[in-house]
Chain A
Amino acid sequence: MITYLEAIREAQSEALEKDPRVYIYGQDIGNFGGAFKATKNLAQRFPGRVLDSPISEDAMMGSAIGAAMQGMRPIVEMQFADFSTVGFNQIVNQAATLFWRSGVSCPITVRLPSGGTPGSGPFHSQSLEAIYAHYPGLIILTPATVEDAYSMLLEAVAIEDPVIFCEHKYLYYHLKAPSLPKEALPVGKARIARAGRDATVVTYSAMVHEALAAADELATEGWEIEVIDLRSIKPLDTDTVLASVARTGRILAVGEAWPWGGVTAEVLARVATEGFNLLDAPPMRLNSKDTPVPFHPNLWGTHRPTARTISLALRELLRA
């Protein structure tokens, strides 16, 4: 069995192996192998290509952009997604605007260990996909499975544009698969994680598994819930979402990130504007609470959506 984290390490190893333009840059990623061991043994296997950076997220990003402009394929590991805000300026103003302004592409991959785990607190738990998706010029990937963590990371490195790769820390060790995939859906295509006819849950990343558990629970009551894993939130596969809503007539958008704006708001805006006539009930959404992410597991477990709260929301949606 291979874990989600091992899939990320394997994809990086393969990228380094196959493409001499690839190098990895981040804090503690060299001999130490990274805070989560996502680069374990890679510095030894690829000398000079897995580099420890100073604690300088702005300079980490800026240098990756410069190297990409000169033909390299940098992978930047942010130790936690939360710290990428220190490099935010370089990502959204330098990397995201470069191709549009100058015609020179910026093939960088920024790995953001994202999302909450018990005890991680306000500054090691954030889900920042929406704020990056707001900016033109960036591609935002949110893999929910071991297979996608592997194939989408390889694809991220191959893409000519800046990719924000939101890998979920909760899935690092929890999620296992028998083997790595030989083929994958392309970036930009959503996946129907579970087929159903009564209601659609649109979600991504770790929330896919909470939604699947909720669908299991409702199945015992006779409801068939369709679960869509967006995989990439920018571009967002509106067609797959609308086709599902056409079948079910009901939609619940779920995200671990904060409620204001964001992915769930975007999904529902598109359904409301482009598929209003498909709806049999008002669209619903479920996000974390609008507070910083709490430290204590008791609070954290209530702060974010879970299978239990998704089930409750679905029952309400099905009654509407």
Chain B
Amino acid sequence: MTGMLPLSEAPYAAGRTSDFSETYRRAYRWMLLARVAEEKIASLYRGGKITGGVFVGRGQEAISVATGIALRDGDIFAPLIRDQAGRLAFGESLLDFTLTYLGARSGPMRGRDGNVHRGRPKEGLLPMISHLGAMGSVVNGMLLAHRFQGKKHTVGAVSLGDGATSTGAFHEFINQAAVEKLPLVLVITNNQFAYSTPTNRQFVCADLVDKAIGYGVTGHSVDGTDLAACLQTIGGAVQTARDGGGPQFVVATSLRLAGHGEHDDSHYIPPQLKETHLGRDCLSVAEEHILSQKWADATTVEAWHRDSHTQVEEAVAHSLREAAPDPAREDWCALSSRHLQEGPELHPPLKY
């Protein structure tokens, strides 16, 4: 099955449970599934099976999942390149991920776009463009539309990195959200590097969250390696926005435990930084927490690992069998008003 799962039917959906340990377990399982799925795609990339880039969220799954799991039907989510966990928690199927990475015609982007540039806008999941900061105002517009249409208590979440905070688009959209008092939740993952550029070449403010006050919005800081803290802080920010508290500005701190993409060996990340608190792997930390709290035993956790691998293997196997896009069957029409597309004489049908 492709497409979006109704959140209430998603296997690990947060639901409305008041049991924090249950939410934590579900979040962990999405993180695990995302990690296993991305490792599989990275492995296929190394084997030359993937066209284009591969971008993974290793080290920031806790932040991402906490965002996705706090959202519900009718909400908007604009994920970025390291949001596999959040996408799954929001309801994106694993097949959308594998079909898009493998370039299948049956994927949501039909081979016209690839890898992390996928989504289902009608179901609230936006397909990111590469220009950082550009999705924020689109989410604002969707929330404005909800206001016009009388849809209440919906939230839009935007995921960004530390690098995007330097763009003009970032400034414009957070200010616009503040002016319109929109239920926007901005989750900034400060993973210390934008591609290879360290934060001291990106900004000089003491803490990115200090920017919130300048925009007149509520700021939150959270340790991005700590799943419990992420669930509480980001979940709380989403609830505050939902309750009419206006834009929420969350800065989560972590370290990118991978290259910018799989093409990048990230040699520029100092090894000693990986030994600090920032360098903790949020997935291992979460697993240890589950075991120490006895929220699950080792046998159960092991079964979750096996289940993740099974799901990923099935999705990849299915996607590898799907047809690639066929240029002869492509309509080459960029407009939904087909009669206004520029003349076919400019690009006659290819003959084979």
Contact = CB atoms under 8 A, between A and B. Distances in A.
B129 A59 contact: no
A108 B172 CA distance: 20
Nearest to A93: B129
B334 A96 contact: yes
B179 interface: yes
B337 A160 contact: yes
A58 interface: yes
Interface in A295-309: none
Contact of B119 (A60, A96, A102, A160): A102
B334 A65 contact: no
B141 A90 contact: no
A69 to B, nearest CB: 5
Interface in A93-151: 93-94, 96-102, 104-105, 136-137, 139
A311 to B, nearest CB: 32
A159 B340 CA distance: 10
B168 A63 contact: no
Interface string B139-153: 111111110110000
A100 B179 CA distance: 32
B204 interface: no
Contacts of B334: 96-97, 99-100, 136-137
B141 A64 contact: yes
B120 to A, nearest CB: 8
A69 B136 contact: no
Contacts of B135: 62
> How many residues of B sit at the interface, in one of the four size bands?
35 or more
A62 B137 contact: yes
A9 interface: no
A94 B138 contact: yes
A187 interface: yes
Contacts of B333: 100
B50 to A, nearest CB: 19
A268 B339 CA distance: 23
A206 interface: no
Interface string A44-58: 000000000110111
Best-surrounded residue of B119, B138, B173 (most CB of chain A within 10 A): B138
> How many residues of A sit at the interface, in one of the four size bands?
35 or more
Contact of A139 (B113, B140, B173, B340): B340
A64 B337 CA distance: 19
Contact of B172 (A58, A105, A137): A58
B142 A69 contact: yes
Interface stretch (A26-34, A169-177, A231-239, A257-265): A231-239
A69 B172 CA distance: 20
A61 B138 CA distance: 8
Contacts of B130: 93
Contacts of A139: 335, 337, 340
Contacts of B136: 59, 62
Given A56-B176, A58-B169, A94-B129, A66 B112 contact: no
B336 A94 contact: no
The A contact surface, by secondary structure, is helix
B142 A66 contact: yes
Interface in B273-290: none
B112 A100 contact: yes
Nearest to A48: B148
A53 B175 CA distance: 11
Contacts of B335: 99, 137, 139, 160-161
Interface in B299-347: 333-337, 339-343, 345
B185 interface: no
Contacts of B173: 56, 58-59, 62-63
B227 interface: no
B340 to A, nearest CB: 5
A9 B164 CA distance: 38
A155 to B, nearest CB: 10
Contact of A274 (B119, B145, B340, B345): B345
A97 B129 contact: yes
A62 B140 contact: yes
A188 interface: yes
B336 A236 contact: no
A23 interface: yes
A63 B337 contact: no
Contact of A63 (B113, B140, B339): B140
B11 interface: no
A253 interface: no
Contacts of B179: 54
Contacts of A64: 141
Contacts of A236: 342
Given A62-B169, A102-B121, A188 B137 contact: no
A80 B148 CA distance: 27
Given A72-B145, A93-B131, A104-B121, A65 B138 contact: yes
A141 to B, nearest CB: 11
Contacts of A67: 141-142, 144-145, 148
B339 A188 contact: yes
Given A94-B129, A161-B337, A63 B138 contact: yes
A62 B142 contact: no
Interface of A: 23, 53-54, 56-72, 74, 86, 89-90, 93-94, 96-102, 104-105, 136-137, 139, 159-161, 187-188, 234-236, 238, 274
Q: Which 10 A-B pairs have the closest CB atoms?
A: A66-B141, A62-B137, A63-B141, A70-B145, A59-B172, A56-B172, A105-B336, A66-B138, A136-B334, A59-B137
Given A56-B175, A66-B137, 14 more contacts: A23-B148, A59-B136, A59-B137, A62-B140, A63-B176, A66-B140, A66-B144, A66-B145, A67-B142, A68-B141, A94-B138, A101-B112, A188-B339, A188-B340
13 contacts: A58-B137, A62-B140, A62-B141, A62-B172, A69-B141, A71-B149, A72-B149, A89-B169, A97-B129, A105-B336, A139-B340, A160-B336, A188-B340
